[in-house]
């Protein structure tokens, strides 16, 4: 049974999601194709993805916990291309560690994490991925070599240094939340913008987080 603290957090999240939903829905700038990576993934596809990864130098990475158990469950990786490739690596549905498919997934991640590539993230990628060490898809030593660009930090610096503007003209609740959040960023050095609030502030768009932890 969820704790009262967890229930309160879920309630606040639901209220924020509802308030921001008056905005236009977030729409990615480029087309993309999704691949679910799990025990059913074919070796042929993984070989092709390894080839694509070798031709790509910029990636984005995000992770998600299971909605119910709150345990690390999903690694999301984008190959930044004209038509992006999105990998959804399902940690709870991986093949056996001795299988060829598991070895190919591990090899794919080794190519992506090459120090010559740039990994964009919202937050520290190394901290996020360290929760998945138990999966044996990569080692802690591999994480240390990642060339990570933490966009969350860059966004806060951009926001705090730019001239302040009027809040957007949408529902009063959304305006109040965005204005309060913006003021908190300028007065608190350690304040961390959520991706949902950053998109709402910068692009006036709604990123639905109702199905994430």
pLDDT at position 126: 95
The 10s digit of each residue's pLDDT in 113-137 is 999 999 999 999 999 999 999 999 9
pTM: 0.83
The two three-digit tokens of residue 38, written as one number = 């799990």
Average pLDDT, the chain: 87
Q: How buried is residue 120: exposed, middle or buried, by Cβ count under 10 Å (0-12/13-18/19+)?
A: middle
Task: Indicate if the pLDDT at residue 167 is higher than 60.
Answer: no
pLDDT-based confidence at residue 180 (cuts at 50, 70, 90): confident
pLDDT-based confidence at residue 163 (cuts at 50, 70, 90): low
The two three-digit tokens of residue 14, written as one number = 């639901």
Residue 181 or residue 159, greater confidence: 159
Q: How buried is residue 121: exposed, middle or buried, by Cβ count under 10 Å (0-12/13-18/19+)?
A: buried
Task: Indicate if the pLDDT at residue 16 is higher than 90.
Answer: no
Average of pLDDT values for 174-192?
Answer: 79
Report the range out of 64-68, 166-170, 176-180 with the highest average pLDDT: 64-68
């Amino acid at each position: 049974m969820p704790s009262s603290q967890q229930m309160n957090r879920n309630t606040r999240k639901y209220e924020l999601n509802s308030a921001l939903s008056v905005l236009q829905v977030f729409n990615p700038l480029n087309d993309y194709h999704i691949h679910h990576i799990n025990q059913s993934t074919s070796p042929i596809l993984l070989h092709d993805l390894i080839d694509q990864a070798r031709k790509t130098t910029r990636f984005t990475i995000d992770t998600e916990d299971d909605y119910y158990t709150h345990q690390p469950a999903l690694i999301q990786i984008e190959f930044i291309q004209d038509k992006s490739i999105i990998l959804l690596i399902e940690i709870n549905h991986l093949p056996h560690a001795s299988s060829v498919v598991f070895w190919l997934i591990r090899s794919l991640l080794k190519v992506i994490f090459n120090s010559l590539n740039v990994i964009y993230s919202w937050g520290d990628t190394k901290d996020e991925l360290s929760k998945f060490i138990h999966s044996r898809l990569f080692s802690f030593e591999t994480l240390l070599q990642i060339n990570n660009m933490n966009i969350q930090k860059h966004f806060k610096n951009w926001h705090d240094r730019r001239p302040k503007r009027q809040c957007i003209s949408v529902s009063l609740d959304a305006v109040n939340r965005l204005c309060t959040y913006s003021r908190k960023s300028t007065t608190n050095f350690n304040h961390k913008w959520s991706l949902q609030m950053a998109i709402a502030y910068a692009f006036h768009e709604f990123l639905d987080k109702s199905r994430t932890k």
